Amino acid sequence: MKICVLVKEVPDAAVEKRINPQTGRMERGGERNLNPYDTHAIEAAMQVREGDEVDVDEIVAVTMGPATAVRALHKAVSLGADRSVHLSDDALAGSDVAATGYALAKVLERESPDLVLLGQQSDDGECYTIGAVVADHLQMPSLTQVIKMDVTKGKLRCERQAEYGYDTVEIELPAVISVGDAINEPRYPSLKAIMGAKKKPLDAVAIGDVGIEADAVGEAGSRVVCGEFKPPAQKAAGEIIEDEDTNETVEKIIAWLDERKLLA
C-alpha cells in the first residue's frame, strides 16, 4: 500500500503577530513551517504502517509551493515520510482553491497512491476544502474531519463528527481522507530523523512534468478574483490582565464581573 500525505508550509503560529497600523492587517514574522494540522496526517500514515492490517510500502509527502516549502517537506520526512515531491512553478502563483486542488491531483495521479491523507485545515486561512477538490479530480471517494480511521484490506472505516453527531462511514480504497486533529497525538521527530531528513529523496517537479495545463492554474486559471481588502467593523479592544499575583487578578475579575451585574 502506498500513502501520499499532502502538506503545506504556513506562517509559524509561535511567531509573534502584530497589527500593521497602516493597513490594519495582522502581520506575522517571516518564519514559515509545516502546517501543524498536517502533522496529524503524517502520524495517521505512520500508525497505518505500524499497524498489523496492511503492509505500507511507502509514505510520500507532497507539497505545492515556492522554494521555501522544502522546509515543510524536510519536517514531514523527519516525522516519518520516506520521500517527498515538491511541485513548484512560477505559473502556479496566485492559484485559488480549485486550481490548487487540480494541480495537486495531477501530482498524485503520477504517484497513484492507495490512500491520500491531509490535515483538516491550514493555519493561514485556507481551507477545509482542498481534500474534496483533489478527490473529485482523482475520482476517489473522500471524507473530511476524520477522527478515527481503521484500515483493512481495500477498505477504511472512518468516524467523524458532522452536523447531527458522530457518523461512521465505510470507504473503499483508493480514497482521500482529511483527518481531524483529535485523531492522534503526533510524535516528535528524533534528532537522527531531523538530521537525516535532507538526505531522503526529494523530487522537484514543474507543471510540465506532471501534465498540468498552464492556463488551468495561477491567476489565469483561477475562477475567483480576490481583492478589495478592507478592515472589518472594529470592536473596541478588550482589557488584558497579565496574571502576576493571582489574588490580585481574581479581585480584578470579580470587580469586572460585578460591574456588569454578572454576580447577582
Partner 1 sequence: MSGILVFALHYEGAYNKNSLGGVSEAAKLAGELGAEAHAVVVGDVSDELAAQLGNYGVTKVFRAKDVPEGLAQPVVDVMAKVMDDNGHEYALFGGGLLGFEIAAGLAARLNAGVTMEVTQVNVVDGKLEAERPIHGDSSISTSKYKDRGIIIGRLNAFETAAPTDAGAEVEDIEIELSPFSTKATMVQRGEARGEDIDIEGANILVAGGRGLGKPEGFELCEALADALGGAVAATRAVVDAGWYPYSTQIGQTGKTVSPKLYLAAGISGAIQHKVGFQSSENIVAINKDSNAPIFEYSDLGIVGDLNKILPKLTEAVKAKKG
Near partner 1 in 190-219, by CB under 8 A = none
# chain residues binding partner 1, by CB under 8 A: 83
The residue within the footprint of partner 1, chosen from 81, 92, 133, 210 (CB under 8 A), is 133
Question: In this chain, which stretch among 51-59, 62-70, 160-168, 202-210 interacts with partner 1, using CB under 8 A?
Answer: 160-168
Provide, rounded to whole angstroms, the least separation between the CB of residue 84 and partner 1: 24
Question: In this chain, which stretch among 21-29, 50-58, 72-80, 201-209 interacts with partner 1, using CB under 8 A?
Answer: 21-29
For residue 175, what are the CA distances in angstroms to 103, 108, 132?
A: 17, 12, 11
Which residues in 214-253 contact partner 1 (CB under 8 A)? 222-232, 235, 238-243, 246-247, 249-251, 253
Query: Is there a contact between 76 and 61 (Cβ–Cβ < 8 Å)?
Result: yes
- Characterize 228-253 residue by residue with b for buried, 16 or more Cβ atoms within 10 angstroms of its Cβ, and e for exposed: eeeeeeeeeeeeeeeeeeeeeeeeee
The residue within the footprint of partner 1, chosen from 175, 205, 210, 212 (CB under 8 A), is 175
Which residues in 45-104 contact partner 1 (CB under 8 A)? 96-98, 101-102
- Nearest CA to 216 out of 131, 45, 80, 95 is that of 95
Strand partners, 2: 58
Query: Is there a contact between 10 and 124 (Cβ–Cβ < 8 Å)?
Result: yes
Give Dmax (Cα) for the chain. Answer: 69
The residue within the footprint of partner 1, chosen from 35, 39, 63, 145 (CB under 8 A), is 145
Which residues in 23-42 contact partner 1 (CB under 8 A)? 23-26
Q: Does 21 bind partner 1 (CB under 8 A)?
A: no
C-alpha 176, offset from chain centre: 14
